[in-house]
Structure 1
Amino acid sequence: MDKESYVYMLAGGRYGTLYVGVTSDLIRRVWQHREEFADGFTKKYGVKQLVWYEVHIDIVEAIRREKQIKHWNREWKLRLVHERNPQWRDLYLELV
Structure 2
Amino acid sequence: MSGSPAVYILASAKNGTLYIGVTSNLVQRIWQHREHLAKGFTEHYDVDRLVWYEQHENMESAIVREKRLKKWNREWKIRLIEQTNPEWRDLWNDIVAVR
TM-score (norm 1): 0.94
Give 3-state SS (helix, strand or coil) of 2:76's partner.
helix
Give 3-state SS (helix, strand or coil) of 1:37's partner.
coil
1:28-76 deviations in Å (ceiling 9; x for gaps)? 0000001111320000000000000001001101000000000111100
Is 1:10 aligned with 2:10? Answer: yes
Q: CA deviation at 1:86?
A: 0.5
Q: 1:72 & 1:44 partners in 2: Cα distance?
A: 23
TM-score (norm 2): 0.91
Q: 2:49 & 2:80 partners in 1: Cα distance?
A: 15
Equivalences for 1:1-96 in 2 at 5 Å?
A: 4-96=4-96
Letter in 1 for 2:67: K
Structure 1 spans left out of the alignment, 5+ residues: none
CA RMSD of aligned residues (A): 0.9
Q: 2:73 & 2:13 partners in 1: Cα distance?
A: 18
Contact 2:4 2:26 in 1 (8 A): no
List, as ranges, runs of 4+ consecutive aligned residues in structure 1 with deviation greater than 2 Å. Answer: none
